[in-house]
Copies of this chain bind each other. A is one copy, B any other.
């Protein structure tokens, strides 16, 4: 009896506020004391922190904070090197010592850094140097990461330069505090209290972004509200920019094309109309008065109901150039989204963006980047890469990926997106022969561009753990790390993240990294295997809905994409079908046109095939489909099992939340499998292969389920607007 009471007491005691709260809020910047042998070792290289001249140097403060946490005590502060184990940080401007050292800073640009172990004035020292304070911050976080992951730091000769220039988070946050496709609570931006109140989380957000090299944030939804452009909001945004600036992060605005009408009382938003051009020119000047280092605009135009240049018979290039012209004198850029498709039943939806944009190659101004989603549909668990990559040699293309898991199970499904990003980056477009990977397209090396970038649709919200689940933090992390260097490995990044976020214990790191690396494929298997796509429920996208046809637009419904019928399943995009294959470079077009050569992971994306077709495994397509769905669900069960065995490595709060989420994922993976297969079985009429469990419920039961309040679906902003005079 007493023992049970005591157990309960201890349990509550551990949860007491005095104990260190492990609620995920610290992210990977979890500077808890390292194991003692490592503390000893690292203290020898971190005895003394040499302060530069700048009194409020953010990088120095971050380094001191990190070292104090990891090593249990802050290093001595000095104004010069007085002993072995000094750390000297700064720029040639902030530090006379750094200015005199030959560190090769010339080639590092404005964000690169070096970390060098040197002997200076007879003392062993570590130098973290860059040309700008932002570069120094990136270097400091890199150095701290070496300590967090227990790397040797005695003989460092690191040079790191970001491979992409614009590394941006796109927040689909509405001004009312909701987040479209957000699964981590409300927006982190408390617009109502800005500019008067700067919530501490703004600074924490800046630290987290800078620690992984993100250097820009688009603060509002691409389905944009023009009010963000009014003085009241610019004042708020300027206050926010003031918090982000010391961390090297610029703010951007998602601009609404019709703003000159809605705010400016013009009769038109025609991009070639002189009054419209003047309006934007003045608006941009006004923005730069508030925010001198404003980054620029992201624009979604003529897409899903948004206004755009085509409303006036103009092209997307005309539209983008309107903004580019206004921004150019100030150094700002336009990120123009290529995510467009019309309600045209004659043309395959996934072909339309290519049709629209490829002919415009060369017609964009220098400060326009075309922002293209990784796949031609819409952030599905798996898609082949968008055919625009490589196909617009005269236009800088940015890659847009989704970090928030709109189509991969929201916050509760464990799905590490590193492999998805890596798959996209390493996809060979053959645009200029073999080796023309997406990575080389977006880093500018393939087609000689200097404007380069990547955007990730943020998964950050006001939830205490930032991203709705602990494992979703890894997706923010891997996005940032790959944005800095797209050649990094998703597995290595996962390992770093696990070490920083949970534990360096190999008995924990190994199984967790393995679990993460397999997790996205599990989602593909239980949601959309073998090249299937867009099988989710309409609107909120929560759960399966493969049967949901009807409505005003066929191309918003699952049957449009899976095309299952009594004979078979899949979308014929070969030369005999929609001929989407022809949008790829010839070697790929030939590959994808041939069902025998098409990789099975893309098979039903490109081909409509008979249920009884033989697959590589020897099974029929139908059986293979059932086996994939079953395997996906079983993978989740395996993840639950793995996690249950790791309890001793993790604090109670994070352990139990993750365990609860895996249980939800288990239940929902089975739901996805059972409901989707019940539907396809109603079409194929075929039995489940032996040993595979039948669906738990009837198809009709699945069809009756409804979830009107599934999160992330606040509806596109209805764009109210107000007079500018307040």
State the A residues within 8 Å of B (CB). 1-2, 4-6, 8-9, 11-13, 15-18, 20-21, 23, 26, 29-32, 51, 53-57, 60-62, 64-65, 68-69, 74, 77, 79, 175-178, 185-186, 191-193, 196-198, 200, 227, 410-412, 462-464, 653, 657, 660-661, 663-664, 667, 701, 704-711, 714, 720, 722-723, 725-726
Chain B residues closer than 8 Å to A200, beta-carbon distance: 15, 23, 653
Sample of 19 A–B contacts (CB below 8 Å)? A4-B56, A5-B51, A6-B77, A9-B65, A12-B65, A13-B68, A17-B29, A17-B69, A18-B31, A18-B69, A21-B21, A175-B708, A176-B709, A176-B714, A185-B186, A196-B661, A197-B661, A704-B723, A704-B726
- Whether the pair A197, B55 counts as a contact (CB closer than 8 A) is no
Chain B residues within an 8 Å CB radius of A726: 701, 704-706
| Complexed CA–CA distance, A29 and B18 (Å) | 12
- The answer to whether B185 and A462 touch across the interface, beta carbons within 8 angstroms, is yes
Give Cα A5–Cα B53 distance, bound, in whole angstroms.
8
A722 to B710, CA, bound (A): 14
Copies in the complex: 2
Question: Which B-chain residue is minimally distant from A412 (CB atoms)?
Answer: B193
Q: Are B8 and A61 in contact (CB under 8 A)?
A: yes
Contact A1 B657 (CB under 8 A): no
* Residues on the B chain within 8 Å of A57, using CB: 5, 8
Residues on B with C-beta less than 8 A from A711 are 177, 192
**Which residues of the other chain, B, contact A61 by a CB distance below 8 angstroms?**
8-9, 11-12
Q: Answer whether A64 and B177 are a contact pair too, CB < 8 Å, given A2-B51, A706-B726.
A: no
Please state if B13 and A196 are interface contacts (CB–CB under 8 Å).
Answer: no
A23 CA to B23 CA in the complex, in Å? 14
Q: A18: which B residues are within 8 A, CB to CB?
A: 20, 31-32, 68-69
Rounded to whole Å, the gap between the CB of A379 and the closest CB of chain B is 20
A21-B21, A31-B16, A69-B17 given as contacts; is B177 within 8 A of A709 (CB)? yes
**Complex contacts, A175 vs chain B, CB 8 Å:** 708-709
A2 touches B56 (CB 8 A): no
Separation of A61 and B198 alpha carbons in the complex (Å): 38
Asked if A16 contacts B69 (CB within 8 A), the reply is yes
Alpha-carbon distance A56/B707, docked complex (angstroms)? 36
| Nearest 7 interchain pairs by C-beta | A4-B55, A196-B664, A705-B726, A12-B61, A197-B660, A706-B722, A186-B186
Contact in complex: A5, B56 (CB < 8 Å): yes
Best-surrounded residue of A21, A32, A709 (most CB of chain B within 10 A) = A709
Which chain B residue has the least Cβ–Cβ distance from A725? B704
Q: Which residue of B lies closest to A702 (CB)?
A: B726
Set of chain B residues within 8 Å of A55, measured between Cβ atoms: 1, 4-5, 8
User: What's the least CB distance linking A274 to chain B, in Å?
Assistant: 28
Q: How far is the CA of A40 from the CA of B535 in the complex (A)?
A: 66
Residues of B within 8 A of A657 (CB): 197
With A64-B12, A657-B197 already in contact, the answer to whether A79 and B708 are too (CB < 8 A) is no
- Which residues does chain B contribute within 8 Å of A410, judged by CB atoms? 192
Write out the residue numbers on chain B whose beta carbons fall within 8 Å of the beta carbon of A2. Answer: 51, 77, 79
Minimum distance in angstroms from A28 CB to a CB of chain B? 12
Which chain B residues border A701 with CB–CB below 8 Å?
A: 725-726
Q: Which residues of B contact A707 (CB under 8 A)?
A: 192
Taking a contact as CB atoms under 8 Å apart, the answer to whether B5 and A17 are in contact is no
Q: Among B11, B53, B196, B708, which residue has its beta carbon within 8 angstroms of that of A412? A: B196
Residues of chain B contacted by A660 (CB below 8 angstroms): 196-198
Please name 15 further chain A to chain B contacts, defined as beta carbons within 8 Å, in addition to the given A1-B53, A12-B62, A193-B664, sorted by A numbering: A2-B79, A9-B60, A9-B65, A11-B61, A13-B68, A15-B200, A16-B31, A18-B31, A177-B186, A177-B709, A177-B711, A178-B178, A197-B412, A197-B657, A701-B725
Distance in angstroms from A653 CB to nearest chain B CB is 6
Q: Which residues of B contact A191 (CB under 8 A)?
A: 709
